[in-house]
Amino acid sequence: MSFTVSGNTAISEVWFDRQVLEKIIINLLSNAFKYTQDYGQVTLQVLDSLDDFKPQFENELVVKHNDGPGPFIYFRVADNGTGISGESMPHLFERYYRVSDNHLGSGIGLAFVKTLTQLHKGNIYVYSSYSKGTEIIIAIPVSKADYGKKERWMKNNASPVRIESLVALPALYAASSTTETQTAALATSQSKEYVLLIADDNAELRTFLKESLEQQYRIIEAADGKEAMEKSLEYFPDLIISDIMMPVMNGIDFCRLIKTTIETAHIPFILLTAKDGLESRIEGTDTGADHYFSKPLSIDILQLTLRNILAQKEKLKAHYRKDQHAEIKELAHSSRDKQFMEDLLALIENNLSKPEMDIDFVCSEIGMSRTKLYNKIKSITGQSIGDFIRTIRLRKAAAMITQGEWSMIDIMYSVGIQTQSYFSKAFKQEFGKTPTQYIKEQEKK
């Protein structure tokens, strides 16, 4: 996307990837809100230069992916929350690094921000002081020359969506925004938390479906099965709608590939066809398709089906989160996903006592990249992979407490947790009560 910028800069047009930048800012704001107390202050500011910028805090961390002269646009998110000590600063972008007993880590959020910023050829500046606050600045190169031809597109151009070009609204560059305004912006974004992929070579039908569904969902489009498969592995949609008759790769082969690829096997799949014969239905069902619609389709029935599919997934996730005795395998629908979850659980449980069993270890052993594993576990369980591992550790600890055969220290070490303060805090976060309270509750039963 591009828009004009007002201010002291000589930049007349700004180029950036709207979706990537949106994810970066939402993750930064989410992290700021998470570690800022009630009635605290969170600021979002857009700058065209750092010439007059003076850091508020003493600890500094700079992550550079671009040593070019610019121009850059700078997005600053600042808060007066928990803050970060000098010793912890170098680890800030590590997944689930425990900054302090009161700060369980940034989850995948800041690590994701780092990856996205790198993909966008940008730089990161962090300034913080413990108990005083944090400010993070993302510098994005914005010249058209910074991006290749395949990375750019102009609005209403038929080329793939990468870097978009639009006319600017100077009002977007207000000096700062209030917490209330940012909360509203987040709510708007989160209202479209589900991503739908529509694959059809008929541009008119794709447009019709997009316009019918884009108020509720984020829509990704593809004109054939091959392109759709590539986008599935790039965006990991929550649900796929695909025509059967398409060039390059048809919908039957696309569905079969989705359902036999471990990274995507969990994604619900709806097939559309102009043919109403039993043979087509059998062929579609044989691929593992979850639903089948004949054209012309009823958009009302399609919308209802989408809501039901996604609502059922959320109910299963909620049941798993609330019931510590729920089997994680209940969340997997396909035999391939069930086997994957069994292998993943076995890997984690066999290495449970090892503190060094982190995300990198699991990814290496399971043979999947961090991004792909994160997206798959998030889609199946509603948890990040780090939270998922922690839940398994703590549920094992709860089971050992119930048996009453081990000391609290022995239990803690057996599930790979090294400090009692973190164990107590994480246990309460998981079960709503401390280990001591949990023991007393069990003794009453």
In the prediction, which pLDDT does 266 show?
Answer: 87
Q: Where are the domains of the chain?
A: 2-178, 195-315, 328-444
Is 195-315 a CATH 3.40.50.2300 domain? yes
Q: What is the dihedral of CA 53, 57, 58, 60, to 10 degrees?
A: -70
Query: Whole-angstrom Cα distance, residue 253 to residue 75?
Result: 43
C-beta separation of 273 from 294 below 8 A: yes
Among 254, 258, 276, CA closest to 268: 258
Residues with Cβ within 8 Å of 415's Cβ and at least 6 positions away in sequence, in order, are: 352, 353, 393, 394, 396, 397, 400
CB atoms within 10 A of CB 317: 17
Peptide bond into 55 cis (omega under 30): no
In the prediction, which pLDDT does 4 show?
Answer: 37
In the prediction, which pLDDT does 104 show?
Answer: 43
Catalogue the E-assigned strands of 91-248.
123-129, 133-141, 195-199, 218-222, 239-243
In the prediction, which pLDDT does 41 show?
Answer: 93
In the prediction, which pLDDT does 129 show?
Answer: 94
In the prediction, which pLDDT does 281 show?
Answer: 53
Q: Which residues pair with 42 in a beta bridge?
A: 79
Please give the chain's pLDDT, 445 residues, in tens: 334 343 455 556 778 888 788 888 988 998 888 888 888 999 999 998 999 999 999 999 999 988 888 789 999 999 999 898 888 888 888 754 555 544 444 445 687 788 889 889 999 999 999 999 999 999 999 888 888 877 776 544 433 333 433 223 222 223 333 333 333 333 333 446 789 999 998 887 888 888 888 888 999 999 999 999 999 998 889 999 998 888 999 998 999 999 888 888 888 999 887 655 545 555 545 667 888 887 767 788 888 889 888 888 888 777 777 766 667 766 777 777 888 888 888 898 898 888 778 888 898 888 888 888 888 888 888 888 888 898 889 889 888 888 878 888 888 888 888 888 888 888 888 888 888 888 887 776 6
- The domain defined by 2-178 folds into Heat Shock Protein 90 (3.30.565)
CB atoms within 10 A of CB 438: 18
C-beta separation of 237 from 309 below 8 A: no
Homologous superfamily of domain range 328-444: Homeodomain-like (1.10.10.60)
Could you tell me the CA-to-CA distances from 191 to 159, 195, 214, 314, 351 in Å, in that order? 28, 11, 11, 15, 38
Q: What is the token pair recorded at 204?
A: 């008119």
